[in-house]
């Protein structure tokens, strides 16, 4: 048989050829909130450079193609999959999160291969962020069960509004994400992860606030955030 | 403060820079007529006279994105894409030849693909349009477009032979094929064997 005849030769060749890189590079690991001396948003050189750069939304639209398979063409994400809604988010927030995933301060093995340096050039991050920021925020995001609206409002107004804004509009200058119109599933998961320090690039101030939240508090406040609608810009 | 003169000079320099960049990108413009003649001689025996190969192991090139054709030829030539059949064939091609071939094949109409296992089409459609959230497979339409026509950055997959598509996925998953945008290695690795087969069938069915 042909195969057996060539088998010894193949073994020899296989031994000489360096093993192929089947696996995409694993996500690196950078120190985060679990590490001593962690400073939130300690300026990563890539983050600092990109924040100073004006993104080009037209180029960003093209660069964003590689993200559409999960975050979809309208950047509405997929609530059932936990893929966040990105349309209308602050560029600084988007850039920070992308840089943190690249650097390994935010663990996302699912997303990392699609955002690593080999795949997306550094400047493209600023372009993608500029493009996404300009997209209309879809109103059909995933909501929570709506069972504890009063608790949700109470917690949000007491603990969250001072940073994320009365209407969930966030503050790009301070890296506070817009939470209004985000999918409930995503908000719930990420808030729990922040509380439990699994989201390693979290703001320690937020983690302090969340310390006393039980899961049902997180559910109520996530539900409330998912239903927020900031007033239209003039 | 800048004077009007220095501003004008800066503007001229800027325009010159743009012109140079544009020329570099369009260094060689493909001539489809020359490409046709060259294809008849160098490519037709495997890929068919118009790039509609009839052998499932050899990819259809008709209607493929010009940018992709050009990139793959260049990658065969540089060795970035390894293939024992293609490597010696592209060795003698000039940049102009490759541009001509790409221009020719991109303009041909792709023939309809052959679905070899229709039972897999429903699953293939689901993976193609929705991905698989559990194993982190993005939907294929994100890059290859809903009808599989591809774009300037991503190849056409519509109507392609399932055997060829599957072989490429296997090569990506095992690290044998490493050229391109580096995301297919992840996608192919995450797809189950059945999903890969199903999506290849669905791609073949796209027009």
User: Could you report the per-residue pLDDT of A190-227, keeping only the tens digit for each?
Assistant: 999 999 999 999 999 999 999 999 999 999 999 999 99
Domain end marker among B77, B106, B135: B106
Distance in angstroms (rounded) separating the CA atoms of residues B99 and B101: 6
ipTM: 0.85
What is the number of helices (H) and of strands (E) in chain B?
A: 11, 0
Q: Cβ of B140 under 8 Å from any chain A Cβ?
A: yes
**Residues B101 and B49 reside in one and the same domain:** yes
Top-confidence residue, B186 or A42 = B186
Domain end marker among A98, A133, A168: A133
Distance in angstroms (rounded) separating the CA atoms of residues B93 and A28: 41
Structure tokens given for A180: 């209004």
Contact A22 B174 (CB under 8 A): yes
Q: Cβ of A113 under 8 Å from any chain B Cβ?
A: yes
CATH of residue A113: 1.10.760.10
Domain encompassing residue B196? 118-205
Least Cα separation, residue B169 to chain A (angstroms): 12
Set of chain A residues whose Cβ sits within 8 Å of the Cβ of B133: 78, 80-83
Domain encompassing residue A218? 149-226
Contact A20 B182 (CB under 8 A): no
Set of chain A residues whose Cβ sits within 8 Å of the Cβ of B153: 62, 65
Query: Which pLDDT band holds residue A22 (cuts at 50, 70, 90)?
Result: low
The domain total for chain A is 2
Distance in angstroms (rounded) separating the CA atoms of residues A32 and A3: 52
- B22 falls within a domain: no
Distance in angstroms (rounded) separating the CA atoms of residues A200 and A195: 10
- A7 falls within a domain: no
The domain total for chain B is 2
Give the contacts of A33 (CB within 8 A, at least 6 positions apart).
A197, A199, A200, A201, A202, A204, A207
Q: 């050009």: which residue's tokens?
A: B70
pTM of the model: 0.87
Query: Which pLDDT band holds residue B6 (cuts at 50, 70, 90)?
Result: very low
Q: Cβ of A189 under 8 Å from any chain B Cβ?
A: no
Contact B142 A23 (CB under 8 A): no
Give the contacts of A163 (CB within 8 A, at least 6 positions apart).
A171, A174, A176, A205, A206
**Residues B40 and B91 reside in one and the same domain:** yes
Set of chain B residues whose Cβ sits within 8 Å of the Cβ of A116: 182
Helix runs in A64-183, H state only: 68-71, 91-103, 112-115, 122-133, 149-155, 161-164
Phi, psi dihedral angles at A176 (to 5 degrees): -85, 115
Structure tokens given for B96: 């102009």
**Residues B47 and B125 reside in one and the same domain:** no
Q: Cβ of B143 under 8 Å from any chain A Cβ?
A: yes
């Amino acid at each position: 048989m042909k195969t057996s005849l060539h088998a010894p030769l193949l073994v020899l060749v296989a031994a000489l050829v360096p093993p192929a890189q089947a696996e995409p590079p694993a996500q690196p690991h950078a120190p985060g909130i679990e590490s001593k001396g962690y400073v939130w948003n300690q300026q990563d050189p890539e983050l600092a450079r990109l924040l100073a750069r004006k993104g080009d939304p037209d180029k960003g639209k093209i660069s964003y193609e590689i993200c559409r398979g999960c975050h979809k063409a309208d950047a509405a994400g997929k609530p059932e999959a936990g893929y966040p809604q990105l349309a209308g988010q602050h560029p600084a927030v988007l850039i920070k999160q992308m840089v943190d995933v690249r650097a390994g301060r935010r663990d996302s093995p699912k997303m990392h291969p699609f955002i690593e340096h080999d795949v997306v050039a550094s400047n493209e991050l600023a372009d993608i962020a500029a493009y996404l920021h300009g997209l209309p925020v879809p109103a059909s995001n995933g909501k929570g069960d709506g069972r504890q609206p009063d608790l949700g409002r109470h917690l949000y107004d007491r603990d969250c509004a001072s940073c994320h804004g009365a209407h969930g509009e966030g503050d790009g200058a301070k890296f506070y994400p817009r939470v209004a119109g985000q999918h409930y599933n995503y908000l719930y998961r990420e808030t729990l992860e922040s509380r439990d320090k699994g989201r390693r690039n979290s703001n320690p101030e937020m983690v302090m606030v969340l310390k006393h939240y039980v899961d049902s508090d997180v559910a109520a406040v996530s539900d409330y955030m998912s239903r927020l609608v900031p007033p239209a810009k003039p | 403060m800048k004077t009007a003169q220095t501003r004008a000079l800066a503007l001229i320099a800027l325009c010159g820079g743009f012109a140079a960049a544009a020329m570099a990108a369009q260094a060689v413009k493909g001539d489809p007529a020359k490409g046709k003649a060259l294809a008849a001689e160098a490519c037709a025996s495997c890929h068919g006279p118009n790039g509609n190969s009839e052998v499932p192991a050899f990819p259809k090139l008709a209607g493929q994105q010009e940018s992709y054709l050009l990139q793959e030829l260049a990658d065969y030539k540089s060795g970035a894409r390894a293939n024992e059949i293609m490597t010696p064939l592209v060795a003698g091609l000039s940049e102009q030849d490759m541009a001509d071939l790409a221009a020719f094949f991109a303009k041909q109409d792709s023939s309809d693909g052959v679905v070899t296992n229709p039972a897999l089409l429903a699953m293939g459609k689901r993976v193609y349009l929705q991905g698989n959230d559990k194993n982190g497979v993005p939907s294929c339409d994100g890059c290859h477009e809903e009808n599989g026509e591809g774009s300037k950055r991503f190849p056409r997959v519509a109507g392609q032979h399932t055997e060829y598509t599957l072989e490429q996925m296997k090569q990506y998953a095992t690290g044998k094929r490493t050229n391109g945008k580096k995301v297919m290695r992840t996608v192919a690795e995450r797809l189950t064997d059945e999903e890969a087969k199903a999506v290849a069938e669905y791609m073949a069915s796209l027009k």
